[in-house]
Structure formats: C-alpha cells, structure tokens
Amino acid sequence: MKSPPESLDPTQPAKRGFRMTRRRMVLGGSLIGGAMVVGYTATHPMEVGGAILSGGGPDPEPSAFGSYIRIASDGFVTIVNRQQELGQGIHAGLAAIVAEELDADWDRVKVIDSRSNFRTYGPQGSVGSRSISSNWDLMRNAGAAARSMFVDAAALLWRVPRRLIDVRDGVVSHPGSNRSATFAELLADASRQAPPQQPMLKQTKDYRLIGTDRVRRKDSVPKSTGAQVYTQDVQRPDLLVAMVAHSPRFGGKLARFDPSDARKVKGVIDVFAIETGVAVVAQNSFAARKGRDALRVEWDDSEAEKRSTPDLFRYYHDLAAGRGDVSPSDFAMKGDKPEAPFSGDIFEFAFDFPYLAHAPMETLDCVAAVNGWDVSITSGAHLPIVDQVQAALTARTTPGRVDLEVIPAGGSFGRRGVMSADYVVECVRIAKRTNGRPVKMIWTREDEMMAGYFRPMSHHRLWVQMGHDGFPRRWRVHSVCQPLVPVGPNSQAVEGIEGSPYFSTASTVDGKIFSPSFAVPPSFWRSVGHSHTSFVMEHIIDQLARRAGRDPAAYRRTFYEKAGDKRRLAVLETLCRRSGWGEPMEAGWARGLAIHETYGTLVGQVAELRLDRGKPVVRRVVAVTDCGIAVSPNQIAAQMEGGIGFGLSAALSGSMTLKDGIVQETNFDTYPILRMNEMPAVETHIIASTNRPTGMGEPGVPPIAPAVANALLALTGNPTRSLPLAQASTISNAPGDPA
Amino acid sequence: MPYQLAVNGRTHRIDEDGQTPLLWVLRDTLRLTGTKYGCGIAQCGACTIHVDGQPMRSCSLSLETAAGSQIVTIEAVEGPEAAAVRAAWVKRDVPQCGFCQSGQIMSAVALLRSNGAPTDDDIDRAMSGNICRCATYNRIRAAIHDAAQSSTSQAKTA
Amino acid sequence: MSWRHGFRSARPRRRRLRIGCVPLLAIIVAAVVLIAAIALWPRALPQPESIAATPPRSDVAQLRPVASFASIGDPETRSLALFTEAGRVIQHPRCMNCHPRDDRPTQTDAMRPHVPWVSRGPDDAGEPTLRCSTCHHAANFDASGVPGNPKWKLAPIEMAWQGKSLGEICRQMLDPARSHMDRAALLHHMTEDELVGWAWHPGGKRSPAPGTQAEFGALIKAWLESGARCPA
C-alpha cells in the first residue's frame, strides 16, 4: 500500500537537481511494478548494474535541448515520449508537462516515441500508473530548461534583463520594447545557450495548459483514419510471417511433430521446433495460419497442469484453511495479540476471483530480425527494458546490440509487459532461424487467450470481530494467490488490503498470504492486486454497514475520520453530493458505492443498477478522483470511463477457466467483452489539488466491481461471494434485454 | 484462378486461394493495414469494411465471395457521413489504443448513411458488433450524435 | 558545451544511499536473468518425423427410418411416434437457435444468447447496419468458423419454438396463421428448404441434426399422411 503522495510544493525546483531527478525517475517504479517498488531511489550500484545489463541500443539524434525536446526550424516542438503509448494517452500528458514549462504553442507540439535506450532514458516501462508521476519532475525541468535557453538567447540579443522577458505559446517577447521572436527565429541562438542546472519551475497557479481541456491526444487523427501503424501492420522488405503451435496445456512440451502437410501449404517457407512449440514461417499471415492448422503435433503432458478450475478453487480453499502444502507468510500486523482467539460477534467472509485474460484488441505480435550479434525489434512494448534484456539473452548477445523500436500498442492492460517477455522471446527464437530475414510473429486470439499470464485467480477469507458500536475491533485475513514476481514478498496478493483505512477501528489485524506455484503463469493485469482486493474490502464494508444498520457512506466516514484520511473524506463527500447519494430512486433501482486507492490515486464510484431478468444492468456511474494535479482532465475522464468499462466487463462476465488443464475461453464468443449496449454513462469529477500528480491508467478499475456488488446488496439483500456476476448467463437460455 | 477484386475504386488481380479471408488479402497483399485482425471469428468488428455499401467483417468473408463487389476500407471511406464521423472522432478524442477504431468508424458511417439521426437505442443495435477493449463506447456514442448533427446541418445548408 | 555533455557532467555529489531498494532491485534484476537463463538454456528440440494422420471422429446421430414405424398399427399412435422422432431434429439446437422466443438468436449446442448482441430487425435478417450478412454469407466459412447459407435469417417471431413443448411446436406448425404455410408448403420447407438443410451440414464444430434431411422429410411426410397428430 502506498502512502499518500507527498504534498511537495511543485513550484520548488527539484531538491536534488536535474540529473538526480532523472535517475530517481528512471530507477523508480519502472523496472518491476509500482506495486513492488515502494518508494524510489537512485543508487550508483544499480546504474552500473543496469548499464552492464542493458547497454543501450542506438542513441537518439542529439538535440541542444536535451534528450526529450527537439525543436525544428519551423518552430515545431517535438517531445520524446520515453513511456509507452498503450492507449492511456501518456504521450499527450508528458508533452503537456513539457509544453507548459516551455510555454510552447500546444498546437505546434508533436510527440514521438523513443526507442529503448538505457543510457539516455533509463530502464523503460509503464507500470503502476506511474508514467505521469515518475516523469513529473523530469519533464517539467526539461521544458523549463529549454525555455530558459530561449530567454537567455533573447536577453543577449535584445540586451534586456532576463526577468523582463516573457514566453507564451512559442513566442518570446519583451513587452517593454515591443520586441518578440518565435522559437523558430531564436532557435540557433537558443541552441548555443547553456542549460541551467536548476531551472525555475512555474507555480501551479500560473499553469496555462496543464489542467485545461486544451491538453488533448496527439494521435486521434491517425487513429481515426486507419493510418496508425501497430506491430501487426509493420511492413519490411523480405518480411516473413510466423505463427506458432503451442501446447494446449500449461507445462506441456513438444513430443513429436510432423511438418509434411504444413510444408505443402502454398506460401509456407519453413517449419521447425522451438522451445515453446512448432513455428511455421510463411510469406503471409494466412499461409502461416493454414500451415499451422496442417501440422500434426503430439505433446508431452507428463509435467503439465491437468487440473480444472473447481479443483484449483478447492485447493485454494484448503490452503486458506491451513490444510494445504504451502506455508504462508505474514502481513499487515497491527496490535500484538494475533494468536488470541476471536470472540464475541464474529463475521466470516470468503471470496473467489477467477483468472482473467487481458485480451487487448491487438493480439500479441512482434517483428524481429537477427543478424549476427545484432537484433532489431519493433513492438508495441510495455516493458521495453525487460524485452531488451530477454531478447539479448535469447539471441546470445548483449542488450546494447538489441535495437528495440517501441511503437504504440493496440492495448496491453499488462499483457505486453510480462517479466518473461514471452512473445518477444518467441519471435527472436524464430528470427534466429531465418538467416537475417525479418519475421513478424502474429498470435491469433486463441493463442493469446490460451497462453496464460492471466490476472491470477484468488481466494480471500476474512474474519472480523465486531465491537458493540458496530465497528470492527479485529481483522484476520487469509489470502491465496499465485505470486507475480518470483522473488520477494507476494505483496500484489494483498495490496489494497494491507494498510486499509477500514482497519482504523481495530486494535489487532493479522494476515497470512498463501502463494501457491504451478504451471499456469499469472501476470500483471490492469490494477493488479487491487482488481480483487478492492472488492474484498469494499464489499465487506457494505455488509458490515448493513449489519450495523448504518448507511454505507456514513459508515465509511467513521473509518476515514478515525484514520485521519482527509483525502478519502473529500472524495466521499464529493461522491455523495454528485451521485445524489441517499436520494430516492425509481422502483427496481439501487445505488452502490465503493472507494479505493490504487497506486496513490483515490477513486470513488457510485453505480446505479437494476436487474433485468436476473442480469445486472448498470446505467450510470458517477466517479470522483483525487489524482493530485490533473494534467489532462480530458484524458483522466477517458481513463475513468475506460477503467469502469474494463472493470465492469470483468465483474459481469470475465472468467478464464481450465478443464483438465486446458483453457476453455478462447475468443470473444466465450470470453465476452463489455459492448456498447452494456456500457453505463460515466460522469467523472476531479478533486482540485495542488499535490503532485498521481496516475490514472489503473485506478478507475478497482472500485466498479464492488460498487456494483454493493448496489446488488442494496437491491436484493444478497452479498456477492464470487465473480463474475453473470457466470451463469453464458450457459442459460435466458432471453436478453430487449432494449 | 485469379480473382478480380475492386477495392477503394481500383480493381486488383488477386492470385490467391478463394477461401482466403478478405482481411488477409487487404492487409498482406494490398497492404491496406487500417483494417485490423482482432479475433478472426467475426466477434470483434475490428476488420469491418463496406461491401457494396454494407458493413461486413472481412475476416469472415472469403476472397471468392468478395470478388465482384465494391469493397471500401477505412483508408478510402468518403462522403459527408465519413467526414463528419472522422471530425467528431477527433473532436471528442475518442480513441485510446485506437486498434478497434477503424471498425468502429466503418460501422458508424454505415449507421449514419442508413439513419441520419440515430437514437441511443439505434446506436446500441448498430454498434454492438464492435468491441472496444478500452471501453471508449461513451465517446463513440457522443461522436456519432455529433456527426449526425453536423451532417444534418450540412445537408440543411446545402 | 552541448546539452548532453552539460547534462552528464553535472554529477551531483553522492547521495545518501537509501538501503532497501538496492537489494530489492538487484534481486529483481538477478531474478530476471536467472529465470531467463533457465528458460533459455538450450535443450534438444524434437526433429520432424512422420506421424500418421488421425481421421476425424464423427458421431453422427441417426434417425429411425419411416419403415420402422410400419409395425405400429394404430395410425394415431404411429403419427405421434413419427412426429416424436422428427422432434429430435426440430428440437435440435441447429433448428431451435434460429427459432428464438424473442428478437435475439441463440447459438452453439448450449444455445447461449448470440454473441455479439444482435436482433432480428424488420425482416428477420438483422438491423440495418448489423445485418446477419455482416458476418454470415452464402456458405459456411471454415477460416472464421462462421456458418452461412444463402437464406440465413431468423424464423419469424410467430414461429418461435424456444420455450415451447414439442406439442406446442407441432400445433403451431399446423396453424397456417402462425406458420404461414399450408401442409404442402410445410412439407416442402422441411424436405427441400436449403436453410433447413443447413442443419445437417453446419460446419465447424457444430453437431449436425440427426439423420439426413431426406430422412427427416420422409418422417414429416409420413406423419402428415398418418393424420398429423400432435403430442400433448
């Protein structure tokens, strides 16, 4: 659990200087996940280690204005995005921060994505919704330094004091003498100025761009005309297309294969075994597909996972009850008597959450070429640093010889950023066998859904001992969840439970994490552990409020007051006001509320719900967020809408199940995604703040499922013990909503 | 036997298996990559094109069946509705990852051509075959309403 | 001095080392390398070999031939038996899926609601911009697994079968007001209609209706000729 963001004065130059800031950022949450790396620091040994590991890759073209800003002779400012554009609009957010401090003309700002380059940009990756927060100082300083160079140039040219020079929308002016010049006109002079070590940053109140609706995406035109190039669309001379036949079971190995029929398919060039299956290399995508369909393959399942989902849940329940083969680790201790028995008024809660696939619209794909020691990759990467290192290890070269061109991805939600870089490694393995010809590896939707790296299934069992005042005195938590990182504590399993404000009335809290390991690979999925822990805490609170005869909002207020959590109180207050909480609704409708903090950002949501022939229908969600300074309110709203749609899709019908070890949901017909007719209206309200910005990519997801379950509880009196809510609807023959 | 395929106003000679999905002919042979592969089984709508003016899923349409029809892809969809839809998409900043948007736009243009003032219910019925994993649905809906208004007002002034 | 140079030369003095993250990050990096090393360690890969093709299994359900009902003397009982046998086709998911009780078809052998969310529209062939023909064409298409037929559309709502007993379906079929067919047309529909015939050639992993269309047609014909009795 993160502490609330420091309330730094954003007007102060970064305390430890520009260089330090950069490092602080690059070594921050980038490498492994905001969930894991609590706090950040810059350390000499890591820089050395990182440099050995990742070397670099080709350096960007030099610019007088640093690694992140290029200004062309026409005055257009190009900002280099060191993060990855996965749909979250980070390119615009970072550009706006630079443009604000630079006082550039927003309409003459462009953004390009950087290649993966450790020397220049540090270890790159987009994790923990930190892309704005971790680049905040860096981008402000970069913009302010460049601005200062233009001011210096104008001061020299016009022989006027710096402090009398103004910059606005890409025009430098000296109002006293009515002189002005554009960035283009001053470019040569400005390029010769020395950048300041500690550029002066603007005060929040002076922002002209940040926080306004002028901050909009720069990619809406290419993404509305079909012009945006994704990995799937990459063309190269001599490009080959590859598909791979994978084991249908996790942990299954290739036993035998017969490529003779596949080789007969027109367009198929080569068929060979790789570590993860059988690769079919062809002249085009459909030939590769037909070739793969024509393969005869036998798998060795002796070490494969063969259990079914109900078996796994039974196993998890046994673990939580202390009847399993996994020894737990302790967490979230509060108080000193964890061994004393519970007594008095005790409630027990148990929750089951399914595996979930990310299912980004663009399936996994990668373009790679291996020429001797050199590897070149084009990918909609999510963790470029990891991809680069893994690709180098696969090709037996150094990361510095891996040129990773990062292009926008057709969604990721975590899938393109797994620690094993599974699909990148697979593509490089194939490219090693094509004599230097570039290979575009495409996974079908079925490949993507059957390959795992799911949001792990989990089971949480909690015991709450109540006081006479209707508030918990004691909590015990047993959580079962596969670890996402092979080392360190399995903190993702309980992020969002650990340090919960709802522990504020309790004197004792103790918890155990059971971390089973088996062949189904889990991974980070938009909002990670919060995607299930938010449900646990927020749905329990509504059940406790109900038992105590309290209004859920008023009940929460007591916890937040006790915890001294002013931010949560403000979110709750705004949420109640904006959603009409407590006001009567039409018959058959109910509201549900949830508030959850994800990676420093607080989000509260109220869902309005009815049942249509047993199926929940959500018509409207009112959302409130405190995410510090709102860089782009428009894109914050977009992420809130998207997060709600993503979370609601999972809550209503998202579930990946195994039967005898084989994934049963292989495409959108069996893993239904929320569609237009199911999307609720969303209202987003942003709490005004002068705190450092926090992220918005993930925090919109966690509250929606418990908000819906809490509305169901209010409507029917029935609590929800497992997700998805509509599991049965896929097999029933119930008529749908006629509307 | 080669097929004559009319795409975006040009006729191409395609010497491929007639059972090849049109999607891959467009993407790999004609390099019209604005039409996307998302599911391959006509579930997601990312590969939507216009065939003789009707929106269709190119992953589920064989080259053999498509030959002889007028095919239009996202790269060349034109007319007042298309212009209005594109403008509304940009004005609303509809796309996030953007991967589904070619298909969304092709469906939206077809909707507006058949219904100049669609209601929310009309939009649900026309657009529910297009999945957006980023859930940009509300902006898509708003942009369709915007586009309907702007093409109606255009028609009135014309 | 170039920016880059200035950038680099301005090394701040060594900061206080915050213990905690160093080992953590180092462990993580080490873990990545270790996992990769294990995962990427070269191992012998199988070489191509010849494997005999396994013929696809087909479990085709059969229909009882009309002749086997000849032993039933009572025409009414025989007629009922014939229709009950034909009911195995009528109530098969291949037929029922397109005779829904409302505006939405169902699909698969489990008869789940059609995904995506579609509705019959004004002519039972879809909404103007989400027609059946958006995805379904004149023939089953193996590459996408999407079934097809030149006449692909829903049965009119008056011919809804889902949620009805076989007897109710039977009486509905015989009622021209609801089936829009006299008995000759009904026989023709069952025996000759190519969309009905699709049920025996559904393609993909869909299980076909039992028997053949000709056998089914013969059952319907014999049923009509034996008095067209309906189950209760």
Q: Name the pLDDT band for A340 (thresholds 50, 70, 90).
A: confident
Joined tokens for residue A642: 């998207």
HEC readout, A322-368: CCCCCCCEEEEEECCCCCCCCCCEEEEEEEEECEECCCCCCCCEEEE
SS3 A574: helix
What residues in A contact C112, CB-CB < 8 Å? Answer: 730-733
| Closest residue in chain B to residue A239, using alpha carbons only | B28
Nearest CB among A410, A667, A676 relative to B41 is that of A667
Q: Which of these ranges, A331-340, A510-519, A683-692, has the smallest mean pLDDT? A: A331-340
Tell me whether residues A31 and C25 touch, CB distance under 8 A: yes
Q: Distance (Å) from the C-alpha of residue A46 to the closest C-alpha of chain C?
A: 7
Domains, chain B, with CATH or none: 3-72 (3.10.20.30), 80-157 (1.10.150.120)
DSSP-assigned states of every residue in C116-151: S-----TTSSEETTEEGGGT--SS-BTTTTB---TT
* Confidence at residue A726, expressed as pLDDT on a 0 to 100 scale: 75
Tell me whether residues A17 and C47 touch, CB distance under 8 A: no
Contacts of B67 (CB under 8 A, 6+ apart): B3, B4, B5, B14, B18
DSSP-assigned states of every residue in A477-528: EEEEE--SSSSS--GGGTBTTBT-GGGTT-SEEEEEEE----SS-B---TTT
Stronger pLDDT, A349 or A33, i.e. the higher one? A349
* Confidence at residue A535, expressed as pLDDT on a 0 to 100 scale: 98
- Is C18 in the A-facing interface, judged by CB distances under 8 Å? yes
Q: Is C212 exposed, middle or buried (0-12, 13-18, 19+ CB in 10 A)?
A: middle
Q: Distance (Å) from the C-alpha of residue C39 to the closest C-alpha of chain B?
A: 30
* Confidence at residue C231, expressed as pLDDT on a 0 to 100 scale: 95
What residues in C contact A31, CB-CB < 8 Å? Answer: 25, 28-29
Nearest CB among C119, C133, C145 relative to B54 is that of C133
**Is the complex ipTM higher than 0.90?**
yes
Tell me whether residues C31 and A486 touch, CB distance under 8 A: yes
Residues A226-263, buried b or exposed e (16+ Cβ, 10 A)? bbbbbbbbbeeeebbbbbbbbbbbbbbbbebbbbebbb
Question: What does the pLDDT average to over A377-387?
Answer: 95
Contact B109/A235 with Cβ under 8 angstroms? Answer: no
* Confidence at residue C26, expressed as pLDDT on a 0 to 100 scale: 58
User: What percent of chain A lies above the pLDDT cut of 70?
Assistant: 90
Nearest CB among C119, C142, C144 relative to B125 is that of C119
What distances in angstroms separate CA C105 from CA A547, B54, C91, one per listed residue?
Answer: 43, 21, 15
| CATH among 2.40.240.20, 3.40.50.2000, 3.30.830.10, 3.30.365.10 for A1-225 | 3.30.365.10
The phi, psi pair for A634, rounded to 5°, reads -65, -45
Would you list which residues of chain C are within 8 Å, Cβ to Cβ, of chain B? Answer: 115-119, 121, 127-131, 133-139, 141-146
Cα–Cα dist A707/A716, whole Å: 14
Mean pLDDT for chain A overall: 90
Tell me whether residues C26 and A46 touch, CB distance under 8 A: yes
Nearest CB among A285, A410, A641 relative to B97 is that of A410
- pLDDT over threshold 70, residue C40: no
What distances in angstroms separate CA A583 from CA A90, A117, A580, A591, one per listed residue?
Answer: 38, 55, 6, 10
* Confidence at residue C18, expressed as pLDDT on a 0 to 100 scale: 42
Joined tokens for residue B4: 């004559």
What residues in B contact A216, CB-CB < 8 Å? Answer: 93
What residues in B contact C136, CB-CB < 8 Å? Answer: 60
Question: What does the pLDDT average to over A154-161?
Answer: 97
Nearest CB among A46, A259, A669 relative to C115 is that of A669
Q: Give the A:B interface size as CB pairs under 8 Å.
A: 174
Tell me whether residues C134 and B56 touch, CB distance under 8 A: yes
- pLDDT over threshold 70, residue C22: no
DSSP one-letter code for A265:
S
DSSP-assigned states of every residue in A430-455: HHTTTTT--EEEE--HHHHHHS--BB
| Closest residue in chain B to residue C204, using alpha carbons only | B41
Question: What does the pLDDT average to over A159-178?
Answer: 97
Q: Give the B:C interface size as CB pairs under 8 Å.
A: 80
Nearest CB among A223, A235, A676 relative to B124 is that of A676
Tell me whether residues A645 and B137 touch, CB distance under 8 A: yes
Tell me whether residues A259 and C110 touch, CB distance under 8 A: no
Task: Specify the pairing of strand A77-81 against strand A69-71.
Answer: antiparallel
| A181 DSSP β-pair partners | A172
Q: What is the pLDDT of residues A590-637, one digit of tens each?
A: 999 999 999 999 999 999 999 998 899 999 999 999 999 999 999 999
For tokens 């903090």, name the residue.
A597
Q: Distance (Å) from the C-alpha of residue A20 to the closest C-alpha of chain C?
A: 7
For tokens 């990773």, name the residue.
A404
What residues in C contact B110, CB-CB < 8 Å? Answer: 129
- Is C4 in the A-facing interface, judged by CB distances under 8 Å? yes
Q: Tell which of B16, B57, B63 to mutate to test the C interface (max C CBs under 10 Å).
A: B57
* Confidence at residue C229, expressed as pLDDT on a 0 to 100 scale: 95
DSSP-assigned states of every residue in A192-211: TSPPPSSPPPPPGGG-SSTT
Residue C189: Cβ within 10 Å count: 17
What residues in B contact C126, CB-CB < 8 Å? Answer: none
| Closest residue in chain C to residue A678, using alpha carbons only | C117
- pLDDT over threshold 70, residue A322: yes
Tell me whether residues B43 and A668 touch, CB distance under 8 A: yes
CA end-to-end distance (rounded Å), chain A: 42
Residue B132 zone, left/alpha/beta (φ > 0; ψ -120 to 50; rest): beta
* Confidence at residue C209, expressed as pLDDT on a 0 to 100 scale: 96
Which is nearest to A22 in space by CA: A40, A2, A4, A49?
A: A40
Q: Tell which of A676, A682, A737 to mutate to test the B interface (max B CBs under 10 Å).
A: A676
Nearest CB among C116, C119, C130 relative to B43 is that of C116
What residues in B contact C116, CB-CB < 8 Å? Answer: 43, 45, 128-129, 131
Question: What does the pLDDT average to over A426-448?
Answer: 98
Nearest CB among C8, C15, C40 relative to A16 is that of C15
Q: How many residues does chain B have?
A: 158
Q: Name the pLDDT band for A37 (thresholds 50, 70, 90).
A: very low
A345-353 sheet: strands from edge to edge: A329-334, A508-514, A472-481, A458-466, A345-353
Q: Distance (Å) from the C-alpha of residue A16 to the closest C-alpha of chain C?
A: 8
Q: What is the pLDDT of residues A205-244, one digit of tens each?
A: 999 999 999 999 999 999 999 999 999 999 999 999 999 9
What distances in angstroms separate CA A230 from CA B15, B25, B29, one per listed residue?
Answer: 27, 18, 17
* Confidence at residue A727, expressed as pLDDT on a 0 to 100 scale: 72
Contact C48/A257 with Cβ under 8 angstroms? Answer: yes
Domain residues of chain C, as ranges?
66-225
Tell me whether residues A220 and B93 touch, CB distance under 8 A: yes
Which is nearest to B136 in space by CA: A217, A738, C122?
A: A217
DSSP-assigned states of every residue in A415-429: TT--TT-HHHHHHHH
A partners (3+ CB pairs within 8 A) are B, C
Alpha carbon C214 to chain centroid, angstroms: 23
Q: What is the pLDDT of residues A646-668, one digit of tens each?
A: 999 999 999 999 999 999 999 99
What residues in C contact B57, CB-CB < 8 Å? Answer: 134-135, 144
Contact A280/A291 with Cβ under 8 angstroms? Answer: yes
Cis peptide preceding A724, ω within 30 of 0: yes
Contacts of A633 (CB under 8 A, 6+ apart): A211, A212, A213, A215, A686
| A91 DSSP β-pair partners | none
Q: What is the pLDDT of residues A494-543, one digit of tens each?
A: 999 999 999 999 999 999 999 999 999 999 999 999 999 999 999 999 99
Question: What does the pLDDT average to over C119-146?
Answer: 96
Alpha helices in C41-133 (DSSP H): 75-90, 93-96
Q: Name the pLDDT band for A40 (thresholds 50, 70, 90).
A: very low
DSSP one-letter code for B26:
I
Q: Which of residues 166-225 of C touch A (CB under 8 A)?
A: none
Which is nearest to A353 in space by CA: A656, A28, A35, A10?
A: A656
* Confidence at residue C28, expressed as pLDDT on a 0 to 100 scale: 62
Do the first three CATH levels of A1-225 and A231-303+364-442 match, i.e. the same topology?
yes
CATH domain A231-303+364-442 topology: Aldehyde Oxidoreductase; domain 4 (3.30.365)
Contact B118/B88 with Cβ under 8 angstroms? Answer: no
| Closest residue in chain A to residue B84, using alpha carbons only | A224
| Closest residue in chain B to residue A235, using alpha carbons only | B31
* Confidence at residue A414, expressed as pLDDT on a 0 to 100 scale: 97
Which is nearest to A419 in space by CA: A385, A449, A451?
A: A385
DSSP-assigned states of every residue in C8-31: HH-PPPPPPP-TTHHHHHHHHHHH
Mean pLDDT for chain B overall: 96
C partners (3+ CB pairs within 8 A) are A, B
Cis peptide preceding A222, ω within 30 of 0: no
Which is nearest to A46 in space by CA: C18, B27, B132?
A: C18
User: What percent of chain A lies above the pLDDT cut of 90?
Assistant: 84
Q: Distance (Å) from the C-alpha of residue B155 to the closest C-alpha of chain A?
A: 23
Q: Tell which of B99, B107, B122 to mutate to test the A interface (max A CBs under 10 Å).
A: B99
Mean pLDDT for chain C overall: 86
Q: Name the pLDDT band for A53 (thresholds 50, 70, 90).
A: low
- pLDDT over threshold 90, residue C2: no
Q: Name the pLDDT band for B140 (thresholds 50, 70, 90).
A: very high
Largest CA distance in chain C: 109
Cα–Cα dist A339/B104, whole Å: 58
Q: Which CB contacts under 8 angstroms, 24+ apart, belong to C163-170?
A: C163/C101, C164/C101, C165/C231, C166/C83, C166/C84, C166/C87, C166/C90, C166/C91, C166/C231, C167/C230, C167/C231, C167/C232, C169/C87, C169/C90, C169/C91, C170/C83, C170/C230, C170/C231
The phi, psi pair for A383, rounded to 5°, reads -125, 75
Cα–Cα dist C131/C120, whole Å: 8
What residues in A contact B20, CB-CB < 8 Å? Answer: 286
What residues in C contact B22, CB-CB < 8 Å? Answer: none
Which is nearest to A143 in space by CA: A60, A200, A193?
A: A200
* Confidence at residue A337, expressed as pLDDT on a 0 to 100 scale: 67
Domain residues of chain A, as ranges?
1-225, 231-303+364-442, 458-730
Question: What does the pLDDT average to over A434-443?
Answer: 98
Does A458-730 carry CATH code 3.30.365.10?
A: yes
Joined tokens for residue A43: 């350390």
Nearest CB among B90, B131, B138 relative to A641 is that of B138
Q: What is the pLDDT of residues A635-648, one digit of tens each?
A: 999 999 999 999 99
- pLDDT over threshold 70, residue A27: no
